[in-house]
Amino acid sequence: MKLFIKKESKVGDVCKFFTEHYPFLKIELYKKTWADSFKKETLPVNLPLGMIINKNVKTAIDINNTTTVAEIENSFSLIGLKAEIFRKSGNVWVETSLTNNWTLQQQNCEGEEISRHFY
C-alpha cells in the first residue's frame, strides 16, 4: 500500500494511517535537523506537513508487511522528516532501533504476542 503525503496532509493523518494498518506499532514524526539532539519533540498532530517537508508535490511512501523499520525511517528522511517506529510491549511503547531490520509484520506480531500476556 502507499501512504500519500501532500502538503496539506497533517502529522496526525500519517500517524492514524500507520496505526490503522499496524495496531501494535506507532510512528512518531520529528522535524529533521542537521544536528542530532537528545531532546526530541514530536510534531503536533494538527501540523500540515507542507510546512516542513522538502517537496511541495504529492509524495508516496510504500508501506507493506515486508517493509522494514529502517526502510520506513529512510523514506521519511528523504522528504525531510525524522520518523521513529515504536512497538507495543504490554502497556508501554518501546523503540525498535535495535530491531530496525525487522519487517513491519514481524514488529506488529511481536507487539501483539507480548501484549497478549498483559490482558
Mean pLDDT per 10-residue run, the chain (119 residues)?
87 95 95 63 89 72 95 90 92 92 96 82
R_g (Cα) of the chain, nearest Å = 14
- Specify the pTM: 0.86
Residue 108 DSSP symbol: H
Residue type, 113: E
In the chain, how many domains are there?
Answer: 1
Q: What domain range is 56 assigned to? A: 2-116
| Residues forming a β-bridge with 25 | 87
Q: What is the pLDDT of residue 42?
A: 85
Cell 525531510 locates to 80
